Amino acid sequence: MTFNSKHILVPTDFSEYSKKSFTQALLIASKTDAKVTLLHCIEPPYDFASTVESTLEQIKRGSKRRLDEMYKQAMKDERFSSVQIDTVLITGMAKASIMEIVQTRHVDLIVMGSMGVSGLRKKLFGSTSTDVALRSEVPVLIVPETQTDKGFDQILFATDYRENDLESLGFVSGLAGLFDSTIHVVHIADDDNFQTDLSFRGFRDLVKEQIQYDPLNFDQYYEKSPFRGLSRYIENNKIEMLVITKYKKTVLKSLFDKNHTKEMSQYSALPVFVIPG
């Protein structure tokens, strides 16, 4: 897996945080020559009264106007003047429509907005962002509403020393190279013992041998909870993006767990990049 994005999908509900994700996608596209598709889904009402059809037409016209406004605003930025942008308006459920667009239009990266900590069912991200990240067969970058329009100086790659982590790390190094980012390769271990030290040294040497990217930092933290261990590392190292492979279900589930309110406030300001494992 190498980072060579050619088609980025940006679902939008016209909120401020989805506009931030659009800008982030355009930054990536401007460096990779990728096409960007800006998608808005109109979820049909369940009340099929006689007024529904005319109401839907009004909604469609309003949504088309707002998509056009986002496109025009992007074109005013000289950084994005060469990026090809398509706007797509679909009537249908958002999650299903996003998955369909990924398949039919050969999307290789999804960039979505996150609303941060809220009272919604999904405590860290909006439910659509969460479900898409967990279901998608292509990488998903979830961008918080606090994200500035720049790259990522410090990237944290969480590893369990699995074979696929080498491939995923190679993919992340391609993204990091676009912004001259430092990658922190971090494992959270239960205890400091011979086996964990051996695994750490072996994986570090293997990465240095197979992945030609600099700078790469390697660290091992000791914490019973992987979620809290990553939180501590993020706080101490000014991390600006967290990368998680989808097989790390313990960490992913913790991200959406209401019992981690303090740590969630920290994650809510952090872009999270979910890679299929």
pLDDT above 70 for 225: yes
Domains and CATH numbers, the chain: 7-144 (3.40.50.620), 154-275 (3.40.50.620)
Contacts (Cβ under 8 Å, ≥6 apart) of 21 = 10, 12, 111, 112, 113, 141, 142, 143
CB 9 within 8 A of CB 137: no
What mean pLDDT value characterizes the chain? 84
pLDDT > 90? residue 135: no
Structure tokens at 194: 């011979």
Residue 270: the pLDDT is: 82
- Average pLDDT on 203-230 reads 90
Statement: residue 227 has pLDDT above 90: no
Question: What's the rounded mean pLDDT across residues 189-215?
Answer: 92
pTM of the model: 0.88
54-58, Cβ contacts within 8 angstroms, sequence gap of 24 or more: 56/91
Instruction: Tell me: pLDDT of 114 over 80.
Output: no
Per mean pLDDT, which of 12-21, 117-126, 167-176 is the most reliable? 167-176
Structure tokens that stand for 20 in this block: 């931030």
CB–CB of 28/21 below 8 Å? no
| Beta strand 35-42 pairing with 7-11 | parallel
Write out the DSSP string of 30-84: HHHT-EEEEEEEEPPPS---TTHHHHHHHHHHHHHHHHHHHHHHHHTSGGGTT--
